[in-house]
């Protein structure tokens, strides 16, 4: 495994034993991650976590006067914490402090990229704000159980995220309730255009449709005095004006731009991007083709994982994607992608590569926050119950069943799952995997739905028989 590129200072010889032990721990964590012949066991993960913390304590004792030093020990330590964090999620301990590490690291990447992009939706910030609050709660709850070294590190990282989040919230603070939906629409259009730009075949019709939507938003903004351009000349003159205005805005950013300026800048950006991608048609300059192909492959694999997450994702799988993205991200110089000769990418390549990088980080963030607090050992049962619940809800939504007999397949499956419990617990061998509460709650919900449907069917059947009897009496008379 290759560490993320960064400037490293020489290693203190006294830290070499720590590095050796951390490298061994990282190897064991990677072997644990790769072994698909069995599920990841809680005790194995907890033991490795304790080994990492032992090395952190020794490292802190050596660095009493060098707290902010960064060398190879720190990069390997970060790898270990990332793997431990994702492993805690794999065993269903999502709400424990060690699981917070990976979530916060990913949130920091996402926030840094939102800040660099200078456009984002209020919903993006709401999601991260809510998740940060969860992370604080998990850390607070873990004060009695986990190392103060880990908790101090997590709290510091949470505060770094909060600082960036507050800056981004300030940027949108002048948006009025009337303008917020229009701003949101522009963000959506710009992201959709970028997605179109990375298709295997450039979708001209879809891009034209997005351009029409953009023009509609532009027309709706004119009453507010928001316009993308003032020129009445040719298309090229309008683009030149918008490009010049956008460049001035980027070079002289305001602390918290007024709503008019914020939306105007985004509107200009959308029009310029439409013109650019229609001209390029997805053709990436050769010096950046390898980076593009790599990012495209990662994005596609992550999107596939997001579709099959419940059935196929082992959270530790995300580690290799995180590290590949980190290496690409940290190889940029002053925010620019460079070719083999050290020349920065043109604007089209720069934006295209950044879109893929940011989309991949956002997908990892989504996968992490969507992870269920259930051990992978119990996931097959949990997934079956999730499917049963969806089916029962659909049956209820469509009007229920005409006879209790129609519920027989559901009842059979629920009873077979219920009978798997030993003293109320779902066991795997002699182990009691984490996530018992979530699975039991889902099982009870399914039983309750089936009971309600059966009761409704029986009541309906009784009412029908009663009606038939009364009708018969009338006929005899």
What gap in Å lies between CA 371 and CA 353, rounded to an integer? 27
Identify the weakest region by mean pLDDT among 244-253, 260-269, 371-380, 432-441.
244-253
What gap in Å lies between CA 290 and CA 331, rounded to an integer? 14
Among candidate residues 64, 57, 177, 164, the one with its CA nearest the CA of residue 118 = 164
pLDDT-derived band at 7, boundaries 50, 70, 90: very low
The residues, any chain, with a CB within 8 Å of residue 463's CB and separated by 6 or more, are none
Quote the Cα angle for 344-349-353, to 5°. 100
Quickly count helices (H) and strands (E) in the chain.
17, 2
Chain segment 211-222, per-residue pLDDT in tens? 999 999 999 998
The answer to whether 174 touches 262, Cβ cutoff 8 Å, is yes
Chain segment 153-188, per-residue pLDDT in tens? 999 999 999 999 999 999 999 898 999 999 999 999
CA distances from 141 to 95, 144, 145, 156, 197 (A): 9, 7, 8, 16, 45
Chain segment 52-110, per-residue pLDDT in tens? 999 999 998 887 766 666 788 999 999 999 999 999 999 999 999 999 999 999 999 99
What gap in Å lies between CA 307 and CA 296, rounded to an integer? 17
The answer to whether 345 touches 288, Cβ cutoff 8 Å, is yes
In DSSP notation, 6-57 reads ---PPPPGGGHHHHHHHHHHHHHHHHHHH--SSPPPHHHHHHHHHHHHHHHH
Q: How far is CA 381 from the centre of its chain?
A: 24
Of 234 and 476, the structure prediction assigns the larger pLDDT to 234
Residue reference for tokens 């034993």 = 17
Query: What sign does the dihedral 190-193-197-199 (CA atoms) show?
Result: positive
Which pair of tokens denotes residue 330? 């940290």
What gap in Å lies between CA 50 and CA 97, rounded to an integer? 13
Chain segment 11-37, per-residue pLDDT in tens? 788 889 999 999 999 999 999 999 988
Which pair of tokens denotes residue 110? 């996402």
Among candidate residues 119, 81, 131, the one with its CA nearest the CA of residue 102 = 81
Q: How far is CA 279 from the centre of its chain?
A: 32
Tell me the average pLDDT across 421-428. 92
Chain segment 243-288, per-residue pLDDT in tens? 655 565 555 454 456 888 899 999 999 999 999 999 999 999 999 9
What gap in Å lies between CA 101 and CA 86, rounded to an integer? 8
Residue reference for tokens 């990976």 = 102
Model's pTM, two decimal places?
0.86
Q: What percent of the chain has pLDDT over 70?
A: 87
Of 382 and 230, the structure prediction assigns the larger pLDDT to 382
**Hey, is 431 helix, strand or coil?**
strand
Partners of 465 in the β-ladder: none
HSE-up of 463 (CA within 13 Å, CB side)?
A: 8
pLDDT-derived band at 474, boundaries 50, 70, 90: very low
Average pLDDT, the chain: 89
For residue 475, the tally of other CB atoms under 10 A from its CB is: 7
Among candidate residues 272, 184, 261, 186, the one with its CA nearest the CA of residue 226 = 261
Which pair of tokens denotes residue 361? 């980080």
* Three-state secondary structure readout of 340-382: CCCCECCHHHHHHHHHHHHHHHHHHHHHHHHCCCCCCCCHHHH
The answer to whether 135 touches 152, Cβ cutoff 8 Å, is no
Q: What is the dihedral of CA 60, 62, 65, 69, to 10 degrees?
A: -70
Given a cut of 50, whether residue 5 has pLDDT beyond it is no
Partners of 338 in the β-ladder: 344
403: phi > 0 → left, psi -120 to 50 → alpha, else beta; which? beta
User: Which pLDDT does position 232 carry in this prediction?
Assistant: 54
Residue reference for tokens 């940029």 = 332
Residue reference for tokens 């469509």 = 398
């Amino acid at each position: 495994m290759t560490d993320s590129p960064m400037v490293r200072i020489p290693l203190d010889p006294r830290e070499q034993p720590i590095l050796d032990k951390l490298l061994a721990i990282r190897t064991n964590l990677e072997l644990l991650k790769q072994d698909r012949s069995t599920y990841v066991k809680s005790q194995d993960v907890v033991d490795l976590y304790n080994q990492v913390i032992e090395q952190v304590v020794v490292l802190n004792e050596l660095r009493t006067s060098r707290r902010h030093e960064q060398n190879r020990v720190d990069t390997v330590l970060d790898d270990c914490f990332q793997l431990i964090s994702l492993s805690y999620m794999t065993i269903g301990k999502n709400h424990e402090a060690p699981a917070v590490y990976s979530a916060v690291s990913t949130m920091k990447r996402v926030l840094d990229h939102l800040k660099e992009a200078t456009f984002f939706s209020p919903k993006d910030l709401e999601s991260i704000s809510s998740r940060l609050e969860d992370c604080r709660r998990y850390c607070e709850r873990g004060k009695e159980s986990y190392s103060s070294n880990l908790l101090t590190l997590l709290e510091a990282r949470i505060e770094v995220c909060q600082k960036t989040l507050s800056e981004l919230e300030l940027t949108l603070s002048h948006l009025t309730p009337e303008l917020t939906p229009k701003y949101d629409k522009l963000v959506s259009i710009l992201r959709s255009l970028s997605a179109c730009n990375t298709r295997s075949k450039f979708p001209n019709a879809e891009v034209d449709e997005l351009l029409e939507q953009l023009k509609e938003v532009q027309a709706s903004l004119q009453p507010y005095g928001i316009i993308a351009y003032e020129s009445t000349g040719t298309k090229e003159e309008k683009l030149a004006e918008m490009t010049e205005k956008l460049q001035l805005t980027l070079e002289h950013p305001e602390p918290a731009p007024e709503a008019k300026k914020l939306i105007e800048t985004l509107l200009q950006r959308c029009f310029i991007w439409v013109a650019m991608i229609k001209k390029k048609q997805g053709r990436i300059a050769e010096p950046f083709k390898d980076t593009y192909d790599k990012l495209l492959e990662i994005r596609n694999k992550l999107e596939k994982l997001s579709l099959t997450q419940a059935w196929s994702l082992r959270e530790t799988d995300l580690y290799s994607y995180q590290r590949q993205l980190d290496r690409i991200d940290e190889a940029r110089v002053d925010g620019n992608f460079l070719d083999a000769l050290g020349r920065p990418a043109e604007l089209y390549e720069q934006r295209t590569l950044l879109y893929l990088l940011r989309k991949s980080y956002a997908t990892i963030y989504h996968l992490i926050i969507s992870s269920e607090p259930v051990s992978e050992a119990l996931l097959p049962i949990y997934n079956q119950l999730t499917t049963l619940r969806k089916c029962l809800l659909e049956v209820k939504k469509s009007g229920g069943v005409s006879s209790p007999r129609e519920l027989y397949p559901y009842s059979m499956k629920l009873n077979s799952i219920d009978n798997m419990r030993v003293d109320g617990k779902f066991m795997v061998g002699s182990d009691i995997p984490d996530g018992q509460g979530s699975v039991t709650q889902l099982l009870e919900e399914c039983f309750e739905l089936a009971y309600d449907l059966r009761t409704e069917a029986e009541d309906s059947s009784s009412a029908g028989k009663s009606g038939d009897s009364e009708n018969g009496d009338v006929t005899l008379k």
